[in-house]
Structure 1
Amino acid sequence: MEAVPVRAVTWRGLWLAPVVLGMTVLAGTAIGETRLPFVTVLRTLANHLWGAGYPVDGIEAGIIWSYRLPRAVVAACCGAGLALTGVVLQALLRNPLADPYLMGLSAGASTGAVLVTVAGLGGGAISMSLGALTGAVLAFGCVAVLARAVSGDVGGGRATQAAAAIILAGIAGSQLFNALTAFIIARSANAEQARGIMFWLMGNLSGIRWDDVGACMAVSVAGVALCLWHRRGLDAFTFGADGAASLGINVRALRGSLIAATAVMVGVLVSKVGAIGFVGLVVPHAMRFLVGARHDRLVPASALAGAVFLVAADVISRILVPGQVLPIGVVTALVGAPAFALILVHGARK
């Protein structure tokens, strides 16, 4: 078996990424429930970024700078991070249906976050992000143990059985942790808390402020850097764990570091915006169709497309129903569920 050729990251055309991302964030800042002139958006940004001193209404400036802009930035970071988790899980597990939502990571992170915020686990000493991270790691551990018990080691003609077992175990884990979350809410939350939490669990960026930007941006940028650093290893997993080991990849170390990074990203992002499904499933497949399966191109393309996709979904969630903001998970599911069906049909035909 020949080794996968390793090339440097293709930078040609990559200069468009910050332009596209900047235009997307600007669109997410300009479009919302309240109609604001585009020139007001530009003047507000100029005032805060460069001290331009343009006359702008204080309320409109507050909506743009304190509400819409951080919301758009966090949506972009979450979209990029969730898309990367899909790329990593699909590569390591060799399963086109693997993503943090279907694998139970999002459900586990939600349970951990709710335990901290509603049930008061840790007595205030544990942050919501740490609770979500712990829940995500625990959920993935449960799914891995269940899948291994069902299918055994991958290989020996059992790869198809193992791939199906992983997805089924992920669905079982998701249902388990979703049930635990519902039980905690019913047991510990009052009616107003329950309503707010259930809205948050479907994906909600309404409470995002500038304090939330740093953590989301840090995990997303670190995730992109880590995936690009390990792009050769991700390519090698195309041949399976044994094939990757024969190509000189330290399979256990690579899998452990990338799974840990995935759990951290999911935990932090879910603690900020709730469980948003299908981003990690739809975006990597779309980008493989456009740029191919090589991870030196797939990683930056998926991160950019995930950012654009989630900002667009957030805009749609604010304007689809006049006078009401929908959970962003509703919009992503409307796109992701049909895409999930197409992937299933395509996989069955292959």
Structure 2
Amino acid sequence: MSVHHSVSTHHHGGSGAGWLALFLVLSLLLLGLVVAIATAIGDYAIGLDTVFLAVTNGLGLTGADISPIEQSVVWDLRLSRALVAALSGAGLAICGAILQALLRNPLAEPFVLGVSAGASTGAVCVIVLGIGGGGLSLSMGAFTGAFSAFALVAILSNGATSGPNHTILAGVAAAQLFNALTSYIVTTSGNAQQARDVMFWLLGSFGGVRWPDFHLLIIVVVLGLGVCLYMARALDAFTFGDEDAAALGVPVARIRLVLFALTAMITATIVSMVGAIGFVGLVVPHAARYVVGPMHLRLLPASAAIGAVFMVLADIASRVIVSQQTVPIGVVTALVGVPFFALILYRSRPQT
């Protein structure tokens, strides 16, 4: 059976598209609900009706009379946090789906390529060493670190010409190097408070995000998703291997480089705002494949939708698990991710 034939047989026609549309509409409704809940809960509980009025006030649609404190808590603090959480989940899930196709490895995710380890090192250099003398923001430091890691992986894996396993090994090496650098900087230069800040940051936190973060992130994630959807057919071809993709007329080296750079950019933007959050990029694409199948034109939007809902739920959990305290978000995603990960491994084992 030719590759061309096997690519085309995955199309289920109109029924597949109808199911995807229904799934995305339901996901968006669910996302709206969980964002509302995330905005309502906290040390200062606010009713869902008040949340709704505060949001419509903030959008300029209504002029409801609610207390300035409640308006401020909802609009200035909690809503931006919930929306950044949703976009972070969507972005990491998209990156995971792309890397799993490019590297033909079900265990690939943004953290495998060392991008978030690099971002962490960049951020730590700013927090602990004060590099940039205050002129360099934490986000910029993390961004620089992430792209340094990406460049190192590209060099170690001989650019875009090497095989998928080579790239993963290069990513593991880069991650180990940057993690070691981070540990070294924290243990030799940091005081106890700085070490604590860094630790919380490395495990992820939505505590400090505001509207400017949301504005940047929505541009990066929507643009990234658009580019990936444009290349969806090429991604389908990649799952058969580089030779088969090239035989189908896909410019393998160029597309791989563009998509790697894109995942590095999305991951770096997210990590620079909220820290390193593991397991989302690994687990969510598998859940999406289970629901909508392997075709990337359907898989990418489904991954984004599931990732967004998952991350907002994880953020809610991080605030309610321990009373009066926020658990780092990476701890919550790992608690959910590890059993799910075990399930993936169990299901993908060879049948005897």
The normalised TM-score by structure 1 is 0.89
**Aligned residue for 2:130?**
120
Distance 1:180 1:74 in 2: 28
The one-letter amino acid of 2:57's match is: N
Are the aligned partners of 1:10 and 1:296 in contact in 2 as well (CA < 8 Å)?
A: no
Name the structure 1 match of 2:56: 46
- Within 2, Cα distance between the matches of 1:133 and 1:141? 12
Equivalent residues, number:
340
- Which residue identity does 1:10 align to in structure 2? A
Task: Tell whether 2:272 aligns with 1:289.
Answer: no
Give the whole-Å Cα distance in 2 for the aligned partners of 1:153 and 1:180. Answer: 27
Query: Which of 5, 10, 18 in structure 1 is aligned with 2:17?
Result: 10
- CA distance in 1 between counterparts of 2:295 and 2:61 reads 44
Distance 2:124 2:133 in 1: 13
CA distance in 2: counterparts of 1:33 and 1:101, whole angstroms? 33
Aligned to 1:194: 195
Query: What's the secondary structure of 2:64's corresponding residue?
Result: coil
**What's the counterpart of residue 331 of structure 1?**
332
Q: Which residue of 2 aligns with 1:157?
A: none
Aligned to 1:239: 240
Partners of 1:186 and 1:61 in 2: how far apart? 42
* Structure 2 CA distance for aligned equivalents of residues 16 and 289 of structure 1: 16
1:204–1:274 contact (8 Å) kept in structure 2? yes
| Contact preservation (8 Å) 2:80, 2:211 | yes
| Structure 1 range deviating more: 94-103 or 285-294 | 94-103
Give the equivalent residue in structure 1 for 2:118.
108
C-alpha RMSD of the superposition? 2.5
Structure 2 residue aligned with 1:158: none
Residue in structure 2 matched with residue 61 of structure 1 by the alignment: 71
Q: Cα gap change, 1:298/1:51 in structure 2, threshold over 3 Å: closer, same or farther?
A: closer
Which amino acid in 2 is paired with 1:42? F
> Partners of 1:221 and 1:204 in 2: how far apart?
22
Corresponding residue for residue 34 of structure 2 = 24
Q: Give the deviation of 1:45 after TM superposition.
A: 1.5
Gaps of 5+ in 1: 155-161
Partners of 1:346 and 1:15 in 2: CA distance: 29
Name the SS of the counterpart of 2:260 in structure 1.
helix
Measure, in 2, the Cα distance between the counterparts of 1:252 and 1:123: 39
Q: Could you tell me how far apart the structure 2 residues matched to 1:346 and 1:131 are? A: 40
Rounded to whole Å, the distance in 2 between the matches of 1:243 and 1:51 is 53
1:15-52 deviation per Cα after TM superposition (whole angstroms, max 9, x unaligned): 44543332232222123333222222122112222352
Q: Which residue of 2 aligns with 1:279?
A: 280
Q: Displacement, 1:140? A: 3.6
Specify the SS of the correspondent of 1:10.
Answer: helix
Q: Which residue of 2 aligns with 1:177?
A: 178
Q: d(CA) in 2 for partners of 1:43 and 1:131? A: 38
Instruction: Give a deviation string over 1:154-205, Cα, whole Å, max 9, x none.
Output: 4xxxxxxx64x65555444333322211222233333222211211110001
- Corresponding residue of 2:214: 213
* Whole-angstrom CA distance in 1 between matches of 2:100 and 2:189: 37
Q: CA deviation at 1:145?
A: 5.4
- Contact 1:33–1:318 (8 Å) recurs in 2: no
Please, which runs of 5 or more residues in structure 2 have no aligned partner? none
Give the aligned partner of residue 255 of structure 1. 256
Query: Within the alignment, does 1:138 sit opposite 2:148 as a pair?
Result: yes
**TM superposition score normalised by structure 2:** 0.88
1:75 to 85, 109, 121: 85
Match of 2:299 in 1: 298
How far is the alpha carbon of 1:68 from its aligned partner?
Answer: 0.8
Q: Distance in 2 between matches of 1:280 and 1:50?
A: 36
What CA distance in whole angstroms lies between the structure 2 residues aligned with 1:133 and 1:251?
26
Distance in 2 (alpha carbons) for counterparts of 1:88 and 1:2: 20
